[in-house]
Structures are given as C-alpha cells and as structure tokens.
Chain A
Amino acid sequence: MVDDHLLSIVLIAPAAFAVVLLPIPRRWRKVHRVLTIIASSLMFAFSLRLWTAFDADEPGFQLAERLPWIPQLGISYHIAVDGISILLVLLTTLLLPVVVLAAWRLNIEHIKSLHISLLLLTTGMIGTFVAVDLFLFYVVWEITLIPMYFIIGVWGGPRRIYAAVKFFIFTMVGSVLMLVAVLYLAWFHHLQTGAWSYDYTELLTTAPLLPVTGGLLAPGLLVFAAFGLAFAIKVPVFPFHTWLPDAHVEAPTTGSVILAGVLLKMGAYGFLRFNRGLLPAAWEACVPLLTALAVVGIIYGALVAMVQADVKKLVAYSSVSHMGFVMLGLAAGGQAATQGAILQMVNHGLSTGGLFLLVGMLYQRRHTRMIADFGGLAHEMPVFTGVFLIVTLSSIGLPGLNGFVGEFLILAGSWSRAPVAVALAGLGIILGAVYMLWTVQRVFWGPLANEANRLLPDLTVRELFVMLPLLVLIVWIGVHPGTFLSPTEAAVRLLLGR
C-alpha cells in the first residue's frame, strides 16, 4: 500500500503536514520547531525509500501514479520519477530539515507561518520534479512562487518588498508564456491525434513534429522560446538574472538556501526535460545561443561577484556563474556533459546552499554581511573558518570535493563540441578562485579588524549538525561520485537518444 503510492506520499506529505500545523497556536513556537524538524526529518528518511525503490537501470519513468483529473481535456494527475529527477527530489527533501534546523534560533514572530510556507514550497518543488503531466507541472511550478514570495516579502531584509515583487513578476512573465506554450502543445497534439493530452509521455510523440524551419516565427521555435524564457529566468541565465541578487540579499537564510538549492534547479531541470526532451530540433538550432549565454553567464557572474561588498550578494552572483556551468553542460548535450550538469545542479545546491547557511550564521552573530565589517575571524571562530573553507573549496571545484566532478564532466564533455567555450568557461574557474578566496581572505585572515568581532562564538553543535549533511555529501560526491552518477546514466541516455 505504502509502496504503491510512494511518490504521492513524498509529494503530499509536506503540504499535509502544513495543514496539521494550522490549528496549533502560533505562540507555541517551540512546539512548532520540534514538530517541524521531526516531521521534515521523517520526510527525508521516507524519501530515501524512493532511492531504494528506484531502479537505476530502467531509463524511463518509474513509480508512476496516474489519476484522471480533467479527463475532457486530457489532464491527469500523473507523477513519476526517472534518473534525472530523483536526485533533485532527494536534494529537496534533504534541504528541508536542514533549513528548518538552521532557522531554529531565528527570533521571529511568525515561525508557524514560515514553516507552513516552507512545507507548501516543498510540495511545489517536489511536484515540479515529479510532474509528468504538463498542466500539473504548470500548476506546481506556479505554486512554488507564492510561498517563496511570502518568505522573501515577510521575513526578508529592508528592501524585501521590492525583492519579492521583482522575483514574482520576473518569474510570472516567464511562466505565463510557458502556459501558452503548454496549451499550444496540447492543441497541437489534438490536431495531430484528435485527442487532447497534456501528458509528457504522449506529447513526446507529437511535440518533436512542430516545424522549426521558416524563420524565427516557426511554431517549434516559438514554443521553445516560451519554455526557454520561463526556465532561463529561473536558472537564471544572463541577462535575466537581476532578480536573483535582490531576492537572495533580501531573503532570510531559509529562503536563500531553498532558492539557491532547489528553485534554480527547476529552471535547469525544465530546460533538460522539456526544451531538450520535447523539442530536440529546436534545441539543436539554439545550441549556439545557449552555449554563448552560458559562457557569458559564467564569466559575467564571476566578474560581478568579485566586486561585491555584501557576502550574500557575492554568493548570489556566484550562483549565476555556477549555473552557467550547468547550462553549458546541457547545451553541449553529450552524455557525459549532461550527466555532469545534473550532478552539478546537486553540487551547486550543496555548496551554495552551504555558503548561504554559513553567511546566515555570521549574520545572526553580527547583524551585518558586509565584508568590510569582518576580517581576522579565523582566530575567533576556527571551526567555522574550517567549515567555510571546505565549502568554499567545494564551490571553486577543488578535486576530491564535489564541485570538481561536475565541472570536470561538463567541461570534458563539452570540449569536443565547443573547445573555445570550455576555455572561456575555464576563465570562470580562475575568477571563481579569485572571488571566493579573496572573500575568505578579507573575512577570516589577517588581524582582527573590528573589535566588535572579538569573542564571536564559534560554530555551535546545532550549527554543526546543520552543516554536517552537506559536508558529508560534499566529500562523498567528490570521492565517489558514482553513487550519484549511475542513477542518471540510463535516463539521460534515453532522453538524449530521442
């Protein structure tokens, strides 16, 4: 019984638990915290069952569940996972308890509503990765928007309203066009087969038939562009990235971690699943553009990150750079590069998520994120410095840690197709070392620059537990990436082979 509806349970559980939280008075903050951390840990533990039930050799969708929803229009509740999405689902469920624990000491009034927002967001994010029906996909895609809007807008920094609205409108612009494209695909399916369908597996037979020749207004290219815009904004691809620094800087740590850890992946995932999967011909036509944008994003994000004064903004721009690598891997499109891109999505979630968590801890102690306010922290907080250094090294791709494996596969896989792009992307690696180490230098090394930083408490046990899962995975993926590469192998082969 449980195994039959494994995926549905994983998907619905957070939202269901949010409903459970509703009647508990919001003044009982301790109760909320304890309940949520227990529940979210259980959800993660349960989602590991997905991992064991998952058959890595089976390329297609697995653990599928399908119920008619609006049968007249061919809309169904169809969810399933394959090798591409399972890692992202697990990343989502892993980050949930992490951020709940990270927000433990957060002294805010509405911890209850924060938890409820987080839980609803989790359902939305998991839904995005497991939805097979495009209509359902659109619905859950939009669902993620609302809790995130509140997380930024309610618990954010001084410019939170601006950031939240910007985030909302940016994403909305893309997703509305995506809705048009989804409807168009269903209509085209109707045209071809006489039956309405929003089902990915069925659209796979008709969507590739969309003509891509005949100028820029060919239907195939337009649908591609509509999907692409939505995903490009989410990733974000240069020049649609300017919502990201604002959203990250204003969002609370919780929001930043989820945003960087999972929400950005929705964009890259969408590119792979829909743009690449449904519209291979249009994809081929757009590869040069995607490659160029990816490379520009890598270098541009790194350059801008270099001159930031606010650590969080710096990490936000570094996300633009790192997601550029993911896009490069997807654009290159080989087996290795694509697998590398998927792994890099996970890596980015771990390392950038980790950096945001650490910056949040620093902010909680000093109520500032300006690099200039720090300096010489290593002596006061040695363990914190060590952890920050490891995450930094993971982020700049030191071999033996996770970041390297992803970058290696992406770049090695792209080399034969676009050596120039790889070389330019390599400049991004150098710049990555520059801005991250320069930050470490200015925050941790040197003499204690600011008396206010004297005797800052080091990493607490709770904070260590927040970081521990990330650190373990950072090393694990770095040393033995096979665990996380093998599930994607067959699915990617199937997707690229179409």
Chain B
Amino acid sequence: MLDALWLIPALCLAGACANLVLGTLRAPKAIVAVVGVGSVGAATAVAWATLWAYAGQPLAVVVRPYFTWISAGDITVNASLQLDPLSAVMTAFVTVVGLLIHVYSVGYMHGEGNAAFARYFAYLNLFMFAMLLLVLGSNLAVLFIGWEGVGLCSYLLIGYYYRQLWCAQAGMKAFIVNRIGDLGFLLAIFATLAAFGSLEFETVFPAAAADPASFGPEATVIALLLFVGAVGKSAQIPLYVWLPDAMAGPTPVSALIHAATMVTAGVYMVVRANVLFRLSPTAMLTVAVVGGVTAIFAATIGLVQNDIKKVLAYSTVSQLGYMFLATGVGAWVAAIFHVVTHAFFKACLFLGSGSVIHACGGEQDMRRMGGLRIHMPTTYWTFLAATLSIAGIPIFAGFFSKDEILTRTWAAGASDLNGFGDAYRVLWALAVAAALLTAFYMFRALFTTFHGSFRGPEEVAHHLHESPRSMTLPLVLLGVLSVVGGFVGLPGQLLHLEGLNLIERFLKPVVIPLAEVGGHAAEAAHGAHGIGLATEWLLVLVSVGAAAAGVLLARRFYLGAGAFLLPRRLAERLPLLHRMLLNKYWVDELYALLVIRPLRAAAGFCWRVVDELAIDTLLVNGTAFGVELGADLARYTTTGNIRNYALMVLAAAVGIAALLW
C-alpha cells in the first residue's frame, strides 16, 4: 500500500485537470461536484489506507524516489515523497478536513454558474494536490513546489470573485507578500544545498544532528531564512497583512486554506527542520518572540473587528503565533498538536460563519446579525463547540494543545532555555494574556451573532434558515472533532500516565536527538517538562482561569440587558486605542508609506531619470546630437565653389608632401 503514495496527490491533480476541462465545456454542476469531491475522496481513502498500513509497521521513514527532477553539476533534486510520522499526521488531517470542506463547498457554491463552479473545484482540487505535495515531499525542493503551489491556489481562490476588484487585489497582495517569505525559503534552500550538498530531509537533518558543532553557523542562517518563509506563509509579524485581506475568498476557502491547512504549512516546515532550529538558539528565540508577539498582537486587533470573518482571520493569525511560540520553545509536538486541533475548530468556525453568511444573504457584519441560534441550531451548536475549543475550555480539543504550549513556554522560562529565560517568561505572560483575549473575542463573536435579537434588515430576517445538509454534515463532523480531537494528546503526565499522550508518542521520532558537544547536550533536555507536577496543575488553572475570565467578560459586555453599552462606553473613553485597534495599528498604511511609495518612486526615478534622461537622452541621443552638431559645422566647408575645393586639394597635397618629407 505504501507504493501508492504518489497516488494521493496525483488523484487531486487529476481532479483539478478534469474540472478545468469540464469548466470550459460548462458541464453541469452535478458532474463537477462528483469529480471534485470524488477525486479528493479517493485521495483521502488512499491516504488513510496508506496510513493504516504505515501505522501497522515499525515507524520508519519511507522515502519513495520517483524521478530526478533537476540535475546539473553537483545539484541533484529528486522528485520523491516520504512518509514519516510527521507527514502522516499532516496527511491524515489535511485529507479529512479537505474532504469535508469539499463536501461543504458543494452546498455553499451552489449558486454559482456552471463554469465558475467548475473553476472553483478545479482550484480547490489543485490546492489539495499542492498541499499534499507539501506535506509528503521528501526534500526541501518538493516541499517548495507544494509551498508555491498552495500559494498560487490561494491567489486564485482569494481572487475567485475576480470581477470585484478588491478580491483580486487581496489575492495579489497575498501572493506578493508570500513571495517575500518565499525568497527567504529559496535562499534557505540554496544555503542548505551549499552546506549539506543535498536537500533530502533524510540526508540533511541526520547530518546536522550528528555534528552540531560544525553546522552551527550554517544552521542559524538556514533556520532564520526558513523562518522568513514560514513568517510569510503562516502570516506572522511582519508579513501577516495578507491573511485578513484573504477573507475576500469564498468562506470554505478561508476555512480550508486560510485557517486549517495552508497557513499551518510554515509551522509544519519549522517542525520538519527542527534539527536546524535546535542548533541555533538565536533562531529559536526569534521564532518564539515572533510567535508570541504575533499571538497577542493579532488578538488585540480581533477584539474590535465587526466582520465575522475578519475576527476569525485575526484569530487565526493569533493561533498561528501560538504554534510558532511552541516551536520556539522546543515544543515541536505541541505545535503540530495545535495545528491539528486548530484545523478542526477553526475550520468548524469558518464553515459556521459561512453558514451564517449564507443565511444572512452575504452579510458579514456582526452588527447586523444576532439571535441566529433559534434559526440555525446546528450551526449554533457546532459554532459553540468550536468556540469553547479555541477558548481553551477543558475537555475541548483546543484546551489540550494550548495548555501544552503554555506549560512548555513556562518550562522554557523556568529552565532558562538557551540562557534566554527572561524572554521566555515574558512570552508566557503574553501568551496567557492572549488566551484571555481569545476567549473574549470569540465569545463576543458568538454572542453578537447567535444571541440577542436579530439586528439586520427586515427582509433578511424572513429568509433566515438552516443551511442544507451538505453544509451541516461537515459542520457536525468538525464540531465533534473540535470536542474530541484533543484526546489524541491527553496530558498524561498530569496523572502519571505518560502513555496517554498518543501524538507525543507517535511524533517522537521526528525530533532527532542531537549529538553531544563537549560532554553536554547541545540543547536543553526536551520531552520531560522539567517542572514539578504541582506547578503544572497551577499552570493549567491559570490558563483555564484566563479563558474563563475572557468568557465572563464577553458575557458581561455582549449579553443580557446591558449588551453593547459597556464596550461603547469603553470606546468613547479610550478613543485613540479604539481607533488604533479598529485600524489594525495602521500597519497597511505604514507599508504603503514605507515600502510601496518608495518603491514606486525608485521605479519612476529609474525609468524617467536614469533610463529616459541619463541614458537615452544624454548618452544615446546626446551622441547622435554631437555627431549631428559636428556634421553641421563641418558642412560649412562645402562652399560649392569649385575653386575652393581645388585650393583644399592643393593644401592637402602640400600637407601630405610636407608630412612625408
């Protein structure tokens, strides 16, 4: 069964090609839906069958080289796929979530024309192909193909409603901002190639782990460059600006690409390259700081957004920050664990919001919603489950992963990881604060959308309805997963049952132990938390307390008789802060001022001044003008008088004679 590895992405690619053709033929939507969902369904079936076969074996790394992609000089890049615990976990949830969202899309995109419907599924299938290539690739180059491929699909799908200019612009913004990150990734690939002579994970990482001392400096460079790539793709400061705009795409796209899968590719990549990061304390700290700061930064913006998808978008940025914080403190498994649980609850939230938007006739502003829980019970309950999960309420999936991250961050601070203990302690405080804010803004969204009374226009109120079965089914499944998904990573150590943490056990081989340098390990011990049990329980209480405080605060603000009064008063009391948050700290404007305008000015200068004035006018046409001027002067020797010519001939002859003398 492992030999069918290539079939998993290939099926999706076939589906994409078929749908492109069907789109030009304007085939009926039923056929397109069957092809689109069917291809991903088949891929999911093959993937799970493969994983079943794989999990039954001793967990080795299975590499399947198919052909040599690029070979020139000492550079050889294979087109090969690999199955190891990490890619297995990623494949498992990507296929499932992807399939559910495909099913959901059939209902959600129902109103599109035939061609547009087929185009949508072609892009979505292409995305699945690229994403699976990304997680299954056995070297950085194949990973990069997938990486750019998902970026392309993201571009196409954000700009799916291309007739609306702002959608297309959002797509372009996403692609270009991602490109900045991709440059870092590309340079990291070159540096890896130069340092290790290969891009294969199975060559590079063991080599680096075996000789931490000599690969130290290179590892710092490579890790930081890789992280630049991750920052772009996973929307971290300072390259997060594209993700909120990316909400211009259809909501299932936001759920699949901009919440569950693509944006977590950066986390996957960092975890994949964990050896290189562990060799470099600088890189680790950078990752942790960027992640931690992003977590709180995005959460503050999320507090005041009124567009339901924008709230979810900033929440995604914030949650991705948590994942990077986890990687930055060496909690690799916790990062992936959070990727998985986040995929469940965030996909559920997005699909729920899509269901709401669908019901409200395209309305996304929460100020014109409210009281929807009566009209759409299924959506409400699943949304509630996901909200509880993201807020970190115990038993729900998000609690386990988030708590793990917070604990490990505290542990990093306590054990003075790499000597940066203070920084990690500050990050822990930030993360706890962000947890509070998360609970607050998520319940704010829940209350304003589903509770109270409907605030939208009258005619919309009449049409409020629960979504069709194809949409509620994925919602329910994802809602269930948001509840139970965390059980794969139960914090067994709290109860002296280490074996309970299945995902920790499964992913253990991904973190290769480093060889020792000069008698001591090159990094702080990992795996064991290194803090006492009592402290751990205390930390759990702190994080649950933060979440509960957020929920209660949201309830006080947005529920009951005095709903919306308090926040309004607060906004009036602190106008500057409110405006700053509402305008997202003016970061977009800042970029326009600091990057875009200077760039355009430089371009204009190059064109008008250097090209047209200096080179073309002065040098090129200047030479021509000089020649013309000389000729103009010289022509006055042409007097037309034959006797003058004779004199010149004579003078020349005498001159030559004199010269020859």
Contacts and interface: CB of A to CB of B under 8 A. Distances in A.
A–B direct contact (CB < 8 Å): yes
Interface of A: 166, 170, 239, 242, 245, 300, 303-304, 306-308, 334-337, 339-340, 376, 378-379, 382-383, 393, 398-400, 404-405, 408-409, 411-413, 415-416, 419, 422-423, 426-427, 429-430, 433-434, 437-438, 441, 444-448, 479-482, 485-486, 489
B75 A383 contact: no
Contacts of B72: 335-336, 339-340, 409, 413, 485, 489
A378 B616 contact: no
26 contacts: A166-B620, A170-B620, A304-B603, A306-B600, A336-B72, A339-B73, A376-B163, A379-B162, A398-B152, A399-B144, A400-B148, A408-B141, A408-B186, A411-B190, A423-B187, A429-B179, A433-B175, A437-B175, A444-B162, A447-B163, A447-B165, A448-B163, A481-B70, A482-B67, A482-B68, A482-B71
A441 B167 CA distance: 10
B168 interface: yes
Contacts of A445: 159, 162-163, 165, 167-168
Nearest to B600: A307
Interface stretch (B45-53, B102-110, B495-503, B604-612): B604-612
Q: Which 10 A-B pairs have the closest CB atoms?
A: A335-B73, A445-B168, A336-B73, A415-B190, A446-B165, A339-B72, A399-B145, A303-B603, A445-B162, A426-B183
B186 A426 contact: yes
A481 B76 CA distance: 12
A404 B186 CA distance: 11
B168 A441 contact: yes
A166 to B, nearest CB: 7
B483 to A, nearest CB: 39
A122 to B, nearest CB: 29
B74 interface: yes
B31 interface: no
B615 A441 contact: no
Contacts of B619: 239
B601 to A, nearest CB: 10
B165 A411 contact: no
A412 B144 CA distance: 14
Interface string B172-210: 100110011001001101110110000000000000000
Contacts of B164: 446-447
Contact of B189 (A336, A393, A412, A423): A412
A383 B187 contact: no
A383 B24 contact: yes
A209 to B, nearest CB: 28
A446 B152 CA distance: 18
Most buried by A among B144, B165, B172, B606: B606
A434 B71 CA distance: 29
Contact of B176 (A419, A430, A480): A430
Contacts of B169: 441
B148 A304 contact: no
A166 B162 CA distance: 41
Contacts of B600: 306-307
A376 B162 CA distance: 8
A426 B168 CA distance: 25
Contact of B162 (A339, A340, A446): A446
B611 A304 contact: yes
A232 to B, nearest CB: 14
A384 B557 CA distance: 53
B606 A300 contact: yes
Nearest to A417: B194
Contact of A399 (B148, B165, B172): B148
Contacts of B144: 399
B657 to A, nearest CB: 31
B70 A426 contact: no
A161 B610 CA distance: 23
B162 A393 contact: no
Most buried by B among A239, A337, A383, A427: A239
B149 A430 contact: no
A482 B604 CA distance: 40
A336 B172 contact: no
Contact of A481 (B69, B148, B167): B69
B183 A412 contact: no
B602 interface: yes
B115 interface: yes
Contacts of A300: 606, 610
Nearest to B152: A398
B211 to A, nearest CB: 19
Given A306-B600, A415-B193, A445-B159, A422 B187 contact: yes
Given A383-B24, A409-B72, A437-B176, 17 more contacts: A166-B620, A242-B615, A245-B611, A303-B603, A304-B603, A337-B73, A376-B163, A382-B24, A408-B141, A409-B70, A426-B183, A430-B183, A433-B175, A433-B179, A445-B159, A481-B69, A485-B71
Contacts of A422: 187, 190
Interface in B135-168: 141, 144-145, 148-149, 152, 155, 159, 162-165, 167-168
Contacts of B148: 398-400, 404
Given A335-B73, A485-B71, A434 B620 contact: no
B172 A437 contact: yes
Contacts of A419: 190-191
Interface in B602-658: 602-604, 606-607, 610-611, 615-616, 619-620
A245 B168 CA distance: 29
A423 to B, nearest CB: 6
Most buried by A among B70, B175, B176, B191: B70
Contacts of A479: 69
A433 B176 contact: yes
B190 A412 contact: yes
Contact of B73 (A413, A437, A444, A448): A413
A380 B172 CA distance: 21
Interface in B48-102: 67-75
Contacts of A378: 162-163
B65 to A, nearest CB: 14
A480 B167 CA distance: 34
Most buried by A among B190, B194, B615: B190
A399 B172 CA distance: 18
Contacts of A441: 168-169, 172
A97 B444 CA distance: 65
A411 B193 CA distance: 11
Nearest to B130: A400
B70 to A, nearest CB: 6
Contacts of B190: 411-412, 415, 419, 422
Interface string B493-533: 00000000000000000000000000000000000000000
A398 B155 CA distance: 13
Contacts of A306: 599-600, 603
Contacts of A398: 148-149, 152
Most buried by A among B149, B162, B180, B187: B162
B74 A336 contact: yes
Most buried by B among A303, A308, A416, A447: A303
A419 B191 CA distance: 9
Contacts of B115: 382
Contacts of A303: 599, 602-603, 606-607
A337 B73 CA distance: 8
Contacts of A404: 148
Interface in B450-494: none
A413 B75 contact: yes
Contacts of A336: 72-75
Most buried by B among A245, A411, A437, A485: A437
B607 A304 contact: yes
A57 to B, nearest CB: 15
Interface in B14-36: 24
Nearest to B119: A382
Contact of B75 (A242, A412, A434, A480): A412
